[in-house]
A and B are shown apart, each in its own frame.
With several copies, the nearest count.
Chain A
């Protein structure tokens, strides 16, 4: 379909959904003071209901979503069972008001509480908050808890630094900074992780916390992680485990047992909750008994058979309103129950099997190299590769190759977070869901595209060719004279399109 922007569709006077009329005798004019009334109706589109349906149905059809083969690294593509969508569409979830008395939705609260139990089992932590609306928000919560913790001990003015690593997700330094801390970023050494020495040089009495993930998204595990934690504890800092890559180590590692004070799971990633394009999601934040009193309220506690909501004693307040994305918690709980601990263990097995299977085949492709090739041990649930040699040979970048692969029904792959330590990176993550045939096809398409690029670089450089629209020309995206994030701005800057 050549689907117009919704403002180009419909006609004046069309109606999609008509609101109910008021049953009150009052007339419209007296409702709002004249000075505050809208002068004219908002400039919204006017479409009949079927036009809206057709339009958004077309838009969905113009979205590959994950209905191709999506090995999107660091995001751990999972099966998102439809049954969980059906369950959470029930009014006992969807229509609950957050201000209802806890006695009126005990079942829902109980499920969230049970999810906390499961995560405690998996992490060894003592308490969880599900308030953060995503992984970044959980990292922010850690910075916020860190602030409150040190403040409670009168040390905050002194502890102004948070240490992270170049391979940590950008949200870790960014949220630390947003919470007011200075950020120290440890470089990655030749083993693929920072050195204990560099850490020790970076920490001291001003250290508030360490924030990192492990394994990182190159699939490399830092075997000295306990030394890291010990060192940070020694200088009085807190250690936070960004468990974004939990998929490779489920049931094998527990954050608390490694010594971490706090950790984070992405329920939309590791626990089968759909990503919805970019949320609603949940960063489940777990912590030790020592930090639990600082968690945001409301927290669900079980008194006898009754679930209640309380404010923790030294609560940091809120990072967002209420209990978080409760419907996603139900989905995560359901997924966790469907998997069981055996299933989680098997999922880790299969993730590593699939990744190492891919690695074997990808490394056989000319032009593909691996990050930190000196690292001999098998990678965890993903491996970061580089097309550096291929780029040198053909002039084609990893973005070119990615674009061309979508022409074959392969969802875009993940490149890497900033900073790009590995040049021309790509990071497929096979996970436990995708079948061996999917992996084989993915590999075959990559091999095909690489060959195509050698024969006909222009074909790949100008890709995609089979998508709804051609390659975007992004040259004006950061230019205030050309960017247009709304239709009104577009019409003003570019005419009527």
Chain B
């Protein structure tokens, strides 16, 4: 009798036999009769033995992982849209509960609690954004931006989208994918706007030049991909609106504890990453994007996402949570729906809901201030290292460009030397944009201590020739 497998209840001999007997067959092989013999590939699969022992399995996988460097083992100044913030323990505890973590799709009654958590995610994020219509999350910030641009194109029936030319490469490539190919239907044309090298923000004259009545949307980010807070959000949005385009703004939600939401300046769609809201980096697997607008039908009807709405039940005074506008999703309308949706990152929505509830209004304000203050101070200290300079250091939120070109060392060399000293240096911007060779993007959050910075500075002073 072969040993049964812990993952398969009916692999126990008696259970398997009971199924065979129940059907009245002798061998499960009979059930594969639909597959023609020449379709079978049984022999081609190389046998790999299963590991039934949890202990052996764990030793195998953890053995391979052992010794890996991470933002826990090292002091990390990496950022660029993926940020090391403190993760409250409760975010881990709640989302580890199998009722949540292994759930699928029940009825509004049987999965009431989880649906409520999704609603609370949208409510809290909406409060931070000052917007009342928030979709359940999409895969990433880049995907959110891509969908939002396509929403604008559908609404305006125009096809040009205006983008700053400094958007982080990973996100930019996603947007390009979503923009599509001009040979095919529904594609978007991307028109770039140069950054003003003086201010590190979008060049307003260049923007004006790019605008016209073919423009569906202007997309900007604040803080932008160089870490700089756009100081003229209102004017940029105004300019977009002046030509009948929608204004789409990408934000870091952590910044909105202290900064006003772009909605206050008229932004039509706000997108961004939920990763900083209690989600582990996971080597890039911790991302999620959001799309939010005013609660206006014009916008709501364009969402590709699912969203849950409060609704009454058949019992007086009781509330439940159900899908709104399901019919315009790809589940409801196949190719006639808005883009598409599917399995996304809804577990992260639960994390973000917990995160924002824990931080609360004062916590988000204080966090935002702590991050900005730490980043500013770190920028000052780095700028004091001989040969090293910092750009736009007075306009930053948590990231900033450090220019090592005056040191005679490449960023790659410097980062290798920092790694030896237990530090993950900033993201190398060499080649990403004119004028950024041997520059790096440094990120500083509340999770960076004064001592961490002191170690960085000492290391830089060692590494950079005097």
Contacts and interface: CB of A to CB of B under 8 A. Distances in A.
Nearest to B88: A17
Contacts of A171: 330, 340, 342
Contacts of A361: 22
Nearest to A399: B107
A153 interface: no
Interface residues of A, number: 227
A202 to B, nearest CB: 15
Contacts, number: 819
A140 B310 contact: no
B185 A488 contact: no
A56 B122 CA distance: 15
- Chain A to chain B: the 5 pairs with minimum beta-carbon distance, closest first: A340-B50, A180-B184, A136-B342, A62-B113, A276-B347
Nearest to A97: B78
A107 B128 contact: no
Interface in A212-260: 215, 220-221, 223, 225-226, 249, 251-254, 257-258
Interface stretch (A285-293, A388-396, A428-436, A446-454): A428-436
A157 interface: yes
A38 B367 CA distance: 14
B82 A97 contact: yes
B89 A337 contact: no
B308 A485 contact: yes
Q: Could you say which of A52, A160, A350 has the most chain B C-beta atoms within 10 Å of its C-beta?
A: A52
A318 B173 CA distance: 5
A53 interface: yes
Contacts of B176: 317
B314 A471 contact: yes
Nearest to A29: B369
Nearest to A461: B314
A96 B73 CA distance: 9
B50 A134 contact: no
A484 interface: yes
A339 interface: yes
A59 interface: yes
Contacts of A352: 28, 31-32
A43 B112 contact: no
A25 B321 CA distance: 46
Interface string A56-78: 11111111111100101001011
Interface string B295-328: 1110010000011111111110011111111110
A344 to B, nearest CB: 8
B13 interface: yes
A108 B107 CA distance: 38
A430 B57 CA distance: 26
Nearest to A90: B65
Contacts of B40: 252-253
Contact of A328 (B51, B150, B285, B333): B285
Contacts of A136: 330, 340-343
B343 A266 contact: yes
Interface in B121-163: 122-124, 126-128, 130-136, 139-143, 150
B285 A347 contact: no
B466 interface: no
B101 A85 contact: yes
